[in-house]
Chains A and B, each alone.
Chain A
Amino acid sequence: MTVLEVKNLTHTYSGNTPFINDAVSRVSFSAEKGEIIGIIGHTGSGKSTLVQHLNGLLKPTEGEVFVDGENIWDNPKEIRKIRSKVGLVFQYPEYQLFEETVYADIAFGPKNMGLAGDELKKRVLDTCRLIGVKDEYLEKSPFDLSGGEKRRVAIAGVMAMKPEVIVFDEPTAGLDPAGRESVMKIIHDYRQAVGATVIIISHSMEDMALLADKLLVMNKGSLEMFDTVENVFLNGDRLREIGLNVPIVTRVFYELKAAGIPVPDNVFTVSRAVEVLKGIKAGERGA
């Protein structure tokens, strides 16, 4: 089932702004329920502009965005309703925390949607339970938490709105491996529990290979590729041309192939690499 569809989306920034123009031109793609889509592209390729259209923060200059089959700009007055259907977690989301307690901060989104009383309370507590925000944190000030915990609370603030599509702009930026793992886990848990579609902007090809079903490659504001992870990473030469690359392990396999070892082209994760090499080794021993 298609939950999100973008048709011919074009966005041009008007005027002489001093900021880097991050325009988007004629992008079309669609996302199915429960899918994980990775967006890759170097800085300034239009990724951030693109995702801000998905929940109506930006209005397309041309083209349409459909959520559950409805054009989100059919009724501009109701645009805020879209924000609870398509959640957007910005880069370094912990910088948007503002309430006195963790509970109040997580409740901000659902409250804006009109939830109140027991329903609101249940929503906040359910979200916390789902992604592992401990009960004793709820009455603490969010500013007393560690960096990784702050990020978890900030993400919970968006998840508490229970969006069917949730978009993350580099959710693990600036975190250490433990922090990264825990953010990846809550994204996974949320998707499992809600059946949501997940869209992630990332610079890490290695993470994308592990996580994503499909990849959307942006280059200079245009859609370069939109395909399965395998089909995108098979185009290593083109990716390099536009300043991207394939996972490191895949690069090791390019070298192996060049040296005449019969390895397949579609090795993108360490686990798969180990399996393939074990197979080759066993085969050689057998021969």
Chain B
Amino acid sequence: MDSIISVRNVTYEYKEEETVYAAVKDLSLEIERGSFTVILGHNGSGKSTLAKMLNGLNKPTSGDVLVDGINTKEESTEVEVKRKVGMVFQNPDNQIIASIVEEDVAFGPENLGLDPAEIRRRVDDALKAVDMYDFRESTPHRLSGGQKQRIAIAGIMAMEPECLVLDEPTAMLDPKGRAEIISTLHRLNSEKGITVVLITHYMEEAENADRVIVMNDGKIIADDVPKVIFSDVKTLKSVGLDVPQTAELLYRLKENGFSVDTHALSVKEAAAEIIKALRSEE
């Protein structure tokens, strides 16, 4: 596998009032270049701590994180790592630095010391990629939550990273904003080949991912394609995760003796399963 990020036996500890807690425990993980990975976990499962280690914002207490072969512990290549792995956070308000959209998107490339014409090109490309080009001269605080979060994504895209790590980017958005962000991420992944690592506790956002990793108590407890992960409703519920109504319905039908395949996720797939199960009775 061609990995963009390799996490090798990583443990992350933090200290609170003399007690040492481990947020991530001896975890190993490879992220394939060009893939779309979703990391699911409830609050406190260690998923955010892991996310911040993927671009060197957090340094592992033990073990190594390699980005394109570069160890994130290396101080001399810190900027290189952050340029390759961009990071988007939960609250869009706290990631936007400038009062004009395009000037904010320019902030990253400006820090890289690029030529003004090159910055301009990247800013325009990034804004078009998130479908916010028409808003380039607007003021961020007049935009909706979903639009602001797309600006934050554009700000990272303008650094032309290979990988985007997003730490619960939809947690503060309304359903419309959430849908905007998820479809933007899929477009960046399929059209630009950006590797996406999406951290969330909304399971339905993992629906079209290549791979879903479930974390609990600092460890990976499941790692597979969405359909396989979602059919195990019991485990997901036991680690405090949300289950989409379709998965829940099929799971409960199966418990009640229906011969349904619980892998189905979308409304259409779920309906097809139920129809099949009912017809097979005839």
Contacts and interface: CB of A to CB of B under 8 A. Distances in A.
Nearest to B268: A255
Contacts of A179: 43
Contacts of B241: 176-177
B116 to A, nearest CB: 30
Contacts of A243: 176
A286 to B, nearest CB: 11
Nearest to A147: B43
Given A252-B270, A274-B252, A281 B258 contact: yes
Interface string B241-263: 11011101100110010100000
B172 A20 contact: no
B281 interface: yes
Contacts of A256: 271, 274-275
Given A252-B271, A256-B275, A284-B282, A178 B245 contact: no
A175 B90 CA distance: 13
A194 interface: no
Contact of B245 (A20, A176, A206): A206
9 nearest A-B pairs in the assembled complex, by CB-CB distance? A255-B271, A248-B245, A176-B42, A178-B240, A251-B267, A176-B43, A43-B174, A249-B245, A177-B242
27 contacts: A18-B141, A43-B144, A147-B43, A173-B172, A176-B42, A176-B43, A176-B242, A178-B240, A179-B43, A203-B174, A206-B245, A248-B244, A248-B245, A248-B267, A249-B245, A249-B246, A249-B249, A252-B245, A255-B271, A256-B275, A261-B278, A270-B245, A270-B248, A273-B249, A281-B258, A284-B278, A284-B281
Interface of B: 42-44, 139, 141-142, 144-145, 171-172, 174-177, 201, 237, 240-242, 244-246, 248-249, 252-253, 256, 258, 267-268, 270-272, 274-275, 278, 281-282
B142 A278 contact: no
B192 to A, nearest CB: 29
B4 to A, nearest CB: 28
Contacts of A178: 42, 240
A191 to B, nearest CB: 24
Contacts of B249: 249, 252, 270, 273-274
A206 B253 CA distance: 18
Secondary structure of the A contact surface, majority rule: helix
B172 to A, nearest CB: 6
B141 to A, nearest CB: 7
Given A176-B42, A179-B43, A18 B142 contact: yes
A247 B252 CA distance: 17
Contacts of A284: 278, 281-282
A42 interface: yes
Contacts of A193: none
Given A176-B43, A176-B241, A249-B245, 4 more contacts: A177-B242, A249-B249, A255-B268, A277-B278
Nearest to A180: B242
Interface string A254-278: 0110010100000000100110011
Contacts of B172: 173-174
A39 to B, nearest CB: 14
A224 to B, nearest CB: 17
Contacts of A206: 245
